[in-house]
Amino acid sequence: MYLERMFPRRAAGFVLPELLVTFALLALMAVLSVPSFDHWLLRDRVDQAAHSLLATFSYARNEALRLGGAVSVCRADSTAHCAKASAPCGKGAHASADNWACGWLVTSGTSDPEHLRVLRRYPPSAGLSIVSPATILSFTPPAGQVMGSFRSFEIAAISPAWAAGLTQLTRCIRLAIGGRPRVSDGACGHGS
């Protein structure tokens, strides 16, 4: 009883200043973590596009071997056909004829659009730039070689200004003459 008079019981719960300090700390942590979360999301999108292209090239090479005929990978247009070499992809400053971000197709058959068979179609990659001078790549049997001289693809994030020039947000895919793809961090460089 003596202790109860000296130390009166306090009601359970938080006092308003304690709650305000807790909410202020939570808000500060959230504000500080947003840029790193954005960076993580962009890097994940770049990696996802790189893995999708790697899977596409492996699939096309395997299909060329399985079917015993040429299988091609080309930039897609809005009508699910191979895009013309001069047709731009994208909008604004990133619209160009060497951007594959509008999607791509895996096809078999002749170069005649009437007899072209679409094996797979890949959707557009929003917020990314997938640049390659190649308009179409053909994988041929018996070993799945790649026909064409330009066999590199540079994947980069184009969304925020702070991401420009960050090599962590850029991937380069190079195809060997034998058709095997390889991915590396950073830009492809000139003459790839």
Residues 120-136: tens digit of each pLDDT: 999 888 888 888 888 88
| pTM, full prediction | 0.73
Mean pLDDT over residues 155-165, rounded? 65
CATH classification of the domain holding 97:
3.55.40.10
Number of domains in the chain: 1
- Reduced to 3 states (helix: H, G, I; strand: E, B; else coil), residue 138 is strand
Domain limits for position 45: 38-185
Q: Please report which confidence band the pLDDT of residue 94 belongs to, taking 50, 70 and 90 as the band edges.
A: low
* Percent of the chain's residues with pLDDT above 90: 9
Encode pLDDT of 144-155 as tens digits: 777 766 688 898
Q: What angle do CA 153, 53, 170 make, to 5 degrees?
A: 50
Do 129 and 158 touch, CB atoms closer than 8 A? yes
Is residue 141 included in any domain, yes or no? yes
Burial tier of 112 (Cβ tally within 10 Å: 0-12, 13-18, 19+):
exposed
Is residue 133 included in any domain, yes or no? yes
Q: What angle do CA 21, 26, 29 make, to 5 degrees?
A: 125
Q: Is the pLDDT of residue 52 over 90?
A: yes
Is residue 149 included in any domain, yes or no? yes
